[in-house]
Structure 1
Amino acid sequence: MKRVLLKLSGEALAGAKHTGFDEPTVTEVAKQVKVLVDEGVEIGVVIGGGNFWRGRSSETIDRTKADQIGMLATVMNCIYVSEIFRSVGMKTEIFTPFACGAMTKLFSKDEANACFAEKKVAFFAGGTGHPYFSTDTTTVLRAIEIEAETILLAKAVDGVYDSDPKTNPNAKKYDSVHIQEVIDQKLAVVDLTASILCMENKMPMMVFGLNEENSIIRAAKGEIDGTKVLVD
């Protein structure tokens, strides 16, 4: 593949601590991404904010303000993970849809393409810049904008199931599933807005467990033990 969008779960990056960062986990991610970058793959990254903040869990704070806190959580995540990527020998750039002083650049497709041309990894932080849109939606939106070939969805769960495997030991994992079935059955891949964006723009996804050995490298090469979300 020439260009992919990698979505990292904030919770997965936190490891067993479930909050903050687990540096060995993030370093392992960085080493895998470097292998792909060295092979010529252009990689954009979106990171969830769940290791710091889940706005929907608060019934006290106004939803708009809660979502703004979540956007800033993703900026913190991208700054941290970007630095770990640099520590293993990659060049990076962080883009946001709003001004963040000198810490990030404002996102545009032209700036992102210039970043890829310089063999940098592009981090897309700050969500869409608007409340009521998740990082799932950000992931699909940025993937469409940068014309990625597919979305690599690295999660704490190792694929798409017909029910929650944490509560149902008999949950069935799909090897592949069509995006229409994801929407019709409300399968927990990405949220509904993101699923419809994928369907309308024919953006495929590969869903896999972050903690499996070389999972990102294998997913980029189409060799996953997780689930392929089909759009054709």
Structure 2
Amino acid sequence: MNDAKPVYRRILLKLSGEALAGNQGYGIDPDVIVGIAEEIREVTALGTQVALVIGGGNIFRGVAAASKGMDRASADYMGMLATVMNSLAMQDALEKVGVATRVQSAIDMQQVAEPYIRRRAVRHLEKGRVVIFGAGTGNPYFTTDTAASLRAMEIGAEVILKATKVDGVYTADPAKDKDAVKFSTLTYLDVLKRGLQVMDATATSLCMDNHLPIVVFDLTCRGNIMRVVLGEPIGTIVKGD
């Protein structure tokens, strides 16, 4: 590595469940998860502390099940369990590349994960371990985006890195509209007023109230996590005025 210095001391990386599925669209693609683990290892080697929140959409989508008549709370709890499965897979991949990792679950399941305890999570980060927060907030009706915002505040993260399949936030879907224009920066109010697909309104409002910037970037391009951590101007940054 060169002598590049990270601009962030502590980050929270938000991955969608779909990101782990790769091109197969469901389940967990071992090659994808190993690639992400290697990128996280490179970032931690710079001294940046990394926490993770992973969605569960590659296994079970609570909102989709609720729209088909399933009880929303039950569907959301099933979604939370899916996030724990992804968290354990990510932990396994990280440990295999030599990164000490702890999974903390908002739903108590002592055989597979630690309970979520804020001070313990911070201590793990200070010791250079990666912490993965599973089971969302532990409450139905809240998304993993909101869980990411909440956990980022609690651990004192300096930024949320929202990993997606596109290289930022656009005026329209760039896959469908060739005239779509990418934003380099946005304010929280822009995102809320325009209904842009960054994070849901609850998560965005939480970040706005606590002045926590969000960087939306393309995870599919190798090395992008490192580029964001080094402060390169990739993706879209959402922050205050």
- Give the TM-score, by structure 1 length: 0.97
**Partners of 1:156 and 1:13 in 2: how far apart?**
11
In the alignment, the residues of structure 2 paired with residue 219 and residue 23 of structure 1 have an alpha-carbon distance, to the nearest angstrom, of 24
Q: What is the alpha-carbon distance in structure 2 between the residues aligned to residue 140 and residue 202 of structure 1?
A: 11
Query: What does the per-residue CA deviation read over 1:186-214, in whole Å, with 9 as the maximum and x for residues that have no partner?
Result: 11100000010011010101101110120
Of 86, 92, 109, which aligns to 1:100?
109
Of stretches 108-117 and 70-79 in structure 1, the one that deviates more from structure 2 is 108-117
Q: What is the CA–CA distance in structure 2 between the aligned matches of 1:98 and 1:22, rounded to whole Å?
A: 25
Partner of 1:215: 224
- Pairwise mapping of residues 12-51 of structure 1 onto structure 2 (< 5 A)? 12-51=19-58
Structure 2 CA distance, aligned partners of 1:231 and 1:31?
A: 32
8 Å CA contact 1:8–1:155 kept in 2: the answer is yes
Q: Does 1:64 align with 2:73?
A: yes
Shift, 1:166, TM fit: 3.1
Matched, 1:127 2:125: no
CA contact (8 A) 1:9 1:156 kept: no
Q: Is residue 193 from structure 1 mapped to residue 202 from structure 2 by the alignment?
A: yes
Distance 1:78 1:181 in 2: 32
Q: CA deviation at 1:158?
A: 1.9
Kept in 1, the 8 Å contact 2:83–2:134? The answer is yes
Q: Is residue 76 from structure 1 mapped to residue 85 from structure 2 by the alignment?
A: yes
Give the counterpart of 2:61 among 32, 54, 58: 54
Whichever residue aligns with residue 208 of structure 1, its letter is F
Long gaps (5+) in structure 1: none
Give runs of ≥4 in structure 1 deviating > 4 Å: none
Structure 2 distance, partners of 1:226, 1:173, is 9
| 1:125 CA displacement | 0.4
Count how many residue pairs are aligned between Structure 1 and Structure 2.
232
Is residue 78–residue 125 contact of structure 1 (8 Å, CA) maintained in 2? Answer: yes
**Cα pair 1:208 1:224 within 8 Å, conserved:** no
Displacement after TM superposition at 1:136 (Å):
0.4
Relative distance call for 1:103 and 1:224 in structure 2 (3 A) is farther
1:10 alignment counterpart = 17
Q: Encode CA deviations 1:124-145: one digit per residue, 9 max, x unaligned.
A: 0000000100000000000000
Matches of 1:27 and 1:213, distance apart in 2: 12
Name the CA distance, whole Å, in 1 between partners of 2:12 and 2:184: 21
What residue identity is the alignment partner of 2:15? L
Counterpart CA distance in 2 for 1:224 and 1:52 is 33
1:71 to 1:39, Cα distance in 2 relative to 1, 3 A: same
Alignment partner, residue 165 of structure 1 = 174
**Letter of the 1:155 counterpart:** T
For structure 2, list consecutive stretches of 5 or more residues without a partner in the other structure. Answer: 1-7
Partner of 1:149: 158
Q: Give the secondary structure class of the aligned counterpart of 1:7.
A: strand
- Distance in 1, Cα, partners of 2:166 & 2:62: 21
CA drift of 1:168 comes to 2.3
**Partners of 1:197 and 1:172 in 2: how far apart?**
26
Residues of 1 paired with 2:134 and 2:108: CA distance? Answer: 11
